[in-house]
Chains A and B, each alone.
Chain A
Amino acid sequence: MVKVAHVQLCSCCGCLVSLADTYEKLLDVLNSIELVYCQTLADVREIPECDIALVEGSVCLDDHHSLEIAKEVKEKAKIVVALGACAATGGVTRYCRGNQLSKPVHSSFSPLTEVIKVDLAIPGCPPSPEAIVSVITAALNGDMEYLQPFAELAEKGSEACGCDLLTKVVNKSLCMGCGTCAAACPTRAIEMIDGRPNVTQYLCIKCGVCSVQCPRIRFPELIEKIE
């Protein structure tokens, strides 16, 4: 049985909620794995040795606990997955400024991908239940072809923003105006004007989902197979 740990750093727990939102599929997933650590669902205090660690949340660089957990995950897990925007791209925690009680000095947050070497990153705030299940299933089956885009994001996708649509697609003469980015955006920061995305900067939470869904940046070959 594949041992999976869910580790929460600085996050809202929304990614775990999204995993649970798969209903009966969650049961299928839970049947094929052994959940060895998950503070929200199980009373296990130490992160044990495991095959896959799903880590949600960014790392607070002002908090040594946060840094230690990130380091511990790397030592204990064979595969580290940055689950969701905060772990993968920083997400809304990029804007954190601290000043709240009880730790007013906690004000610097970096995505996990910038602190330790991560194997797979799933952006999105939260990533859809379907995407989480697909990634876990592909990881269990060793389907590296499906996982390739997530491996690339783990490698070099830590900085994400609605601006990616401008710099990587519109400015590069690749945008054909399908509108997928606008539908994907969780904060409705993107409006299609004259067939091009217009990003309202103050609504962007840097989750990375718009550029991840864009068919003009990445279009894995396996999508070409239809039945």
Chain B
Amino acid sequence: MDPFGTYKKVVSARSTLKEVLKTCQDGGIVSTAFIYGLENNLLDGVIVADNAGEFKAIPKVATTPEEVLEAAGTKYTVCPNISVLKSAVREYGCEKIGVVGTPCQVRAVRKLMKYPVGFRHIPDKISLIIGIFCMENFPYNGLKLIVEEHCGVKMEDVVKMDIGKGKFWVYTKWGETKAIKLKETHPYEQVACHVCTDYTAELADISTGSVGSPDGWSTVFIRTAKGEEIFNKMVEDGYLEVKPIEEVKPGLGLVEKLALTKKEKNMKEIEHRKELGLPVPY
């Protein structure tokens, strides 16, 4: 089974922008790419998941680097980013749009570009699609329950959440760190995630996530000509530091293991649904 989908190259990378490194989740790749795009006129609007307070995620059309920075960091809950795509074109007047999304959202964007039945004059305005690695997502109330009941932390006190090393981590504004086993979070996953076999956002121009790279770095797949062009420019202009993936720990092997785990587990679920006579995307 092919774990990663089509790609041109894969590297480990980290932002060189100080203000990004202060607020970003791992290597700050998404924020840096969008800031670079906006500053260099490659993009004029980007769709991001903003933190609406207490880690409620809402989609936002950001048109300045400041707005991108405000939205930095992973939210671990559902955020309907694609719902503001038309508004980015019609209301914000954007013509070169960057979109960040989970693998399923990236797939939705590729579908609407190929079959734009209800998306008049939109497909040609999507300039960059960045995908983030994703095993599953949590509905907001599921996330809240994990944080408040299992970690014993009030949502209002949380400054960062993270998933890594088999654990779900919560950091508070009082400097505390709480962690629970990832297994404890499984009952609160969004069940619709279980028909998805895409871990590394296989249809994005660029996909990124923490897995495979050391702390503070991100693994980056460069998949398309478009993705390669902007990524190379960012490196040339000094926005990103890059290391060969072969030279970092834990390396690509871990990404492959998780990607295949997701595929195998969810293919079984798809088969199970078929046996029950339930529909699956086709």
Contact = CB atoms under 8 A, between A and B. Distances in A.
B109 to A, nearest CB: 8
B107 A131 contact: no
A65 B123 CA distance: 39
B52 interface: no
B31 interface: no
Given A174-B281, A194-B139, A128 B120 contact: yes
Given A180-B108, A213-B112, A219-B111, A195 B78 contact: yes
Given A131-B117, A219-B281, A173 B84 contact: no
B22 interface: no
A180 B82 contact: yes
Given A219-B111, A223-B110, A226-B223, A172 B121 contact: no
Interface stretch (B191-199, B233-241, B258-266): B191-199
B224 A226 contact: yes
B264 to A, nearest CB: 19
A218 B5 CA distance: 20
Contact of A178 (B81, B278, B280): B81
B116 interface: yes
A185 B82 CA distance: 12
Contact of B203 (A18, A182, A226): A226
Nearest to B139: A195
Contacts of B102: 176
Interface centre among A124, A126, A183, A218 (most CB of B within 10 A): A183
Contacts of A186: 118
Contact of A212 (B105, B118, B224): B118
Interface residues of B, number: 54
B12 interface: no
B83 interface: yes
A90 interface: no
B101 interface: yes
B137 interface: yes
B275 to A, nearest CB: 15
Interface in A166-188: 168, 172-180, 182-186
Given A183-B83, A192-B80, A178 B108 contact: yes
A41 interface: no
Interface residues of A, number: 47
Contacts of A124: 117-118
A159 B5 CA distance: 36
Interface in B218-246: 223-225
A226 B129 CA distance: 12
Nearest to A195: B78
B174 interface: no
B173 interface: no
A32 to B, nearest CB: 21
B118 A209 contact: yes
A176 B137 contact: yes
B196 A176 contact: yes
A149 interface: yes
A130 B124 CA distance: 10
A218 B114 CA distance: 13
A48 interface: no
Nearest to B196: A176
Given A130-B119, A192-B83, 9 more contacts: A130-B120, A134-B115, A175-B192, A177-B78, A212-B117, A218-B282, A220-B111, A224-B5, A226-B110
Interface of B: 5-6, 59, 77-87, 101-102, 104-105, 107-108, 110-112, 114-124, 137, 139-141, 190-193, 195-196, 202-203, 223-225, 278-282
Closest 6 CB pairs of A and B: A179-B80, A179-B83, A195-B78, A184-B118, A209-B118, A128-B120
Interface of A: 18, 21, 122-124, 126-131, 134, 149, 168, 172-180, 182-186, 192, 194-195, 207, 209-210, 212-213, 215-220, 222-224, 226-227
25 contacts: A21-B120, A122-B117, A129-B121, A173-B191, A176-B102, A177-B79, A178-B80, A178-B101, A179-B82, A180-B83, A180-B111, A182-B80, A183-B82, A183-B84, A183-B86, A194-B139, A195-B139, A215-B107, A217-B281, A218-B281, A219-B282, A223-B110, A223-B111, A223-B115, A226-B223
